[in-house]
Amino acid sequence: MSRRDDPPAAVSEPQVITNAGVDEGVPPELLQNENRQHLADRTYSSGGLSGGLSGGGH
């Protein structure tokens, strides 16, 4: 419960992530693109690609 009572700790977490992104010199657009790709990869693996590959390359 002590951790939850410490609001500054929660604010420090997101700030570190932002700092890391800025430090790397990568624009937010690129970071978002990566996130989108990850989501797409998961969706494809969930059925699209998985189904096609399982079929034997129709």
pLDDT of 21-56, one tens digit each?
455 565 666 566 655 565 556 555 555 555 555 555
Say what the pLDDT of residue 41 is. 63
Question: What CA–CA distance (Å, rounded) separates 28 from 35?
Answer: 11
Distances (CA, A) of 11 to 25, 27, 41, 55: 22, 22, 31, 48
What percentage of residues in the chain have a pLDDT greater than 70?
0
Question: What CA–CA distance (Å, rounded) separates 6 from 58?
Answer: 56
pLDDT of 2-19, one tens digit each?
556 665 555 555 555 555
Quick check: 44 and 38 in contact, CB under 8 A? no
